[in-house]
Structure 1
Amino acid sequence: MPTETTSIPIPPPNRSWLVARALIPDHGPRRVLAFATFVNMLGSGIFMASAVLFFTRSVGLPLAQVALGMGIAALVGLLAGIPIGHLADRRGPREIYLLTLIIRAATMAALAFVHTFWLFVAVICLTQLAHSAGGASRGPLVRGFGGTNLAQYRAYLRSVANLAGCCGALAAGAAVQLDTRAAYLALVVGNAISFVACAAIITRLPSLPPIPVPHLTGRWIALKDKPYMAVTVLDAIMGTQGQVLVFALPLWIILQTDAPRWFIGVAVLVNTALVAALQVRASRGIDTSPAAGRAMRRSGLAFLVGMALIAATSTMPGWLAVTVMTFGVAVHTVGELWHTAGSLELQFRLAPPHAQGQYTGVSVLGTGLANVAAPSILGLLCVAWGAPGWLLMGGIFVAVGLAAPVVVRWGERTRPDTAAAV
């Protein structure tokens, strides 16, 4: 007589695990590049969160000299992106990117021996030159290994970089709390080691042969590409939003609101968590130039709403200011997600494959100039002028967003058929 068997129900797979697993690249170059990105940004996050304190508390330089030196370095660093990007296009991006990582490791280690202002300026300028060069030479690697769904992979890399930078900043907090030269030196050496480790990981990538240049193509085509330059200008203006939460908001909280100072850290945490969790999802469907232009337009509107909410907190009691600013930071971050997705799509979509490094160098130049100008602009409008300045800056973002689709259509019309393919 057969016995009755009782089936044991098998629970369905965890949906969140499946989603997370789907976002992780398969084995191969895509995962190698993602791992290298995490290691690189982990070290950079450690140093960026403590750089000013290292130079003032450990090296002993006055704050004014540190600000001047870092400003000079930021401007000098902008010179490297376009020529090194062109070199990566013609000599192979993997090899050039490796070279920039080694130089960054050496210059970062050299900071441990800096004791005078001019030596500080010289070393930090070399560091910034290598940083800009690395960004330009990395662009062709992302394009070459990104696969068919390049937009999603770029978004994934940004989530990885954001998460790594946050982890690095948390690690830096422990050294800052100790406030000793040994602790600060450990951060500098740790960042140098991260570049070496990143280089070791990149060696596992196969070489990408240069893409043949079409006949009668000029050398510096990116600089002669007027629509792309116009897109870069709009993207650079919109890119000043990156300084809103890390520069303008902390000063606003301290000088103009009754919100507690600890909310500065909470605001950064909210922004970081949302970017790490939602960048891939926010980038879905933004895989054409028109879609990227529309994303830029939406981002401008989101920035206006977010900045209006922040501006309204100057007359609110502390608890209400915290609540409203939290919503403002969240809305601003949504705009950041759309802006990033649209910006990255245009950087790759409008660039011909054989000159991706050079075009990335132009984008790096625009972003760098925006980062240099942003503190002064935001300080004048948002901090010094107050609520009207926040609204004016938000209005500028809206105007840029409205102009973006028009300029993008111009860029699309001027693309050769072979150049628009990604």
Structure 2
Amino acid sequence: MTADITDATTRSDDSGTGSEPPRQSFWVARGLIPGRGPRRTLALASFVRQIGNGLFMISAALFFTRSVGLSVTQVGLGTGVAALVGLLAGIPIGHVADRHGPRRIYLVTLIAEAIAMASLVLVHTFWLFMVVVALIQVAASSSEAARGPLIRGFAGPDPTRYRSYLRAIGNLAGGTSAIAAGVAVQMDTRGAYLALVLGNALSFAASAAVVSRLPFLPPVKSPLGTGRWIALKDTPFVVVTVLDGIMSIQGYVLVFALPLWIVDHSDAPKWLVGATALLNTGLVVVLQVRASRGIDSPSAAARAMPRAGLAFLIGMALIAATAGMPGWLATALIAAGVVVHTVGELWSSAASFELNFSLAPAHAQGQYSGLFGLGPGLASAGAPSVLGLLCITWGAPGWLVMGAVFVLVGLTMPRVVRWAERTRPTYQVPGET
């Protein structure tokens, strides 16, 4: 490849001027925050955005059922259909970001998210709910597709480490906003729920204001002879996307299956539901960046996936073993299972970031990000049904079956990644010889 995306990061380093400050603060020196410049600005925008998301996501189901007046079935159907509709926007918007520069497209998508989210205050019927939630999902999918090349452009020589940092602060933001959301849920009034909705809309607008401070990131020239929709024709990458999507079901094990298991299938105390969520969040905040070390190539990412799959199986086996156990022993095993599962989550997330960035050509980062987002998007739509059947209906054997699926995916990934590496094309950019 004759042109590389790191050209953009050379023009836009931490300081934004090509020089480092003579002395770094304690927080910068320890890697807790990026140095001054585009990376810190983008990190702040991400933190603000996730604060709002955390406010709303925790209370969304209650808002729709208790304030809007929809049934649980209607909410499930509407959000599922909206998620599928939203997936269609990622690839074309990512392509637009590639052609016109990701910063301006990301700004537009953030503003669209703010408007769509604020529109929820007007929802009183099921069909209007369907339309507005679909618009929210389209805007969110478009936003993620445009954000991918923006992160890659400013990330510097180690994009996986920076992306891991963004995930860590995202979890910190979500944990912080959970406190405010909990207060609103406890109040259980329409005014409190509307405050969360508008707070989320405001966070998107505030994030857009921060993003507007980023320097312009020019698009990478398209190589000669490339088609428009090259991501969809990249069969190895499509297979990697499918496998990563299956692996991403693990993200719903602790937030969907585990709470139901604790309450209905174990003698562990109910407060463990919140405690395990805090434990998982804390571990991600503290360890995600460290877990990304060494995962700096497609082959390294592929090697991390089998480890992640094995960790998921062990963690889920520990949780499954708690059926019929005394409460204190169930509590200990569930906590251990959450820790082991989270270790797998750290590895799989870092590997996913690396595969997303490194297998995509420089000139099509947005388009490839949009395609890669289809995997987690489909997992989000299907994970509750899959985990409900296996982990809750089938019980302990289902936990082991799901864990075995993760192991199988992890073992398959290295072979598919080697295939993808062998088939990466060499491009010639116009004007270069």
Q: TM-score, normalised by structure 2?
A: 0.92
Does the alignment pair 1:335 with 2:344?
yes
Q: Please name the residue that 1:410 is paired with.
A: 419
Larger radius of gyration: 1
Q: Which ranges of 4 or more aligned residues in structure 1 deviate by more than 3 Å? A: 16-21
- Hey, what does 1:232 align to over in structure 2? 241
Aligned counterpart for 1:325 among listed residues 315, 326, 334: 334
Alpha-carbon distance in 1 for matches of 2:274, 2:41: 32
Query: For each residue in 1:315-360, what CA deviation from the matched residue of structure 2 results, as whole angstroms up to 9, or x when unmatched?
Result: 2100100000000000000000000000110000000010000000
Aligned to 2:431: none
Residues 361-410 of structure 1 show CA distances to partners (whole Å, capped at 9, x for unaligned) of 01111110011111111111111001111111111100100011111111
**Which one-letter code corresponds to 2:82 in the other structure?**
A
Partner of 2:121: 112
**Aligned mate of 1:168, from 167, 170, 177:** 177
Change in CA separation of 1:142 and 1:40 when aligned onto 2, cut-off 3 Å: same
Distance in 1 separating the partners of 2:34 and 2:105: 24
Unaligned runs of at least 5 residues, structure 2: 1-24, 429-433
Gap regions ≥5 residues in structure 1: 1-15
1:201 aligns with 2:210: yes
Residue 193 of structure 1: SS of its match in structure 2? helix
| Residue 136 of structure 2: aligned partner | 127
Match of 1:49 among 58, 64, 79: 58
Q: Does structure 1 retain, via aligned residues, the 8 Å contact 2:98–2:219?
A: yes
Q: Which moved more, 1:365-374 or 1:333-342?
A: 365-374
CA distance in 2, matches of 1:283, 1:138: 20
**What residue in structure 1 maps to residue 198 of structure 2?**
189
Q: Which residue number corresponds to residue 82 of structure 1?
A: 91
Aligned match for 2:151, one of 129, 135, 142: 142
Q: Distance in 1 between matches of 2:29 and 2:347?
A: 21
Q: How does 1:253-402 map to 2 (within 5 A)?
A: 253-402=262-411
* 2: CA distance, partners of 1:54 / 1:20: 43
Alignment length, in residue pairs?
A: 404
In structure 1, what is the Cα distance between the partners aligned to 2:27 and 2:165?
A: 16
Could you say what the CA RMSD is over the residues aligned between the two structures, in angstroms? 1.3
Residue 34 in 1 paired to residue 43 in 2? Answer: yes
Between the aligned partners of 2:98 and 2:174, the Cα distance in structure 1 is: 28
- The residue number in structure 1 matching 2:221 is 212
Partner Cα separation in structure 1 for residue 339 and residue 79 of structure 2: 30
Q: Secondary structure at the match of 1:191?
A: helix
- How far apart, CA to CA, are the structure 2 residues paired with 1:182 and 1:200? 26
Alpha-carbon spacing, 1:289–1:418, altered in 2? closer, same or farther (3 Å): farther
Secondary structure in structure 2 of the residue aligned to 1:314 = coil
Match of 1:25 among 23, 28, 34: 34
Distance, in Å, in 2 between the alignment partners of 1:18 and 1:50 is 33
Structure 2: distance between partners of 1:248 and 1:20: 39
Contact 2:295 2:350 in 1 (8 A): yes
Cα 1:18–1:90 change in 2 (3 A) is closer
Deviation at 1:51, TM superposition (A): 0.5
Compute the displacement of 1:22 (Å): 2.3
Residue 171 to residue 339, structure 1, CA distance change in 2 (3 Å): same
Task: Answer yes or no: is the 8 Å Cα contact 2:224–2:427 preserved in 1.
Answer: no
Task: Quote the Cα distance in structure 1 between the aligned partners of 2:70 and 2:247.
Answer: 33
Distance 1:23 1:286 in 2: 19
* CA distance in structure 1 between the partners assigned to 2:120 and 2:182 by the alignment: 20
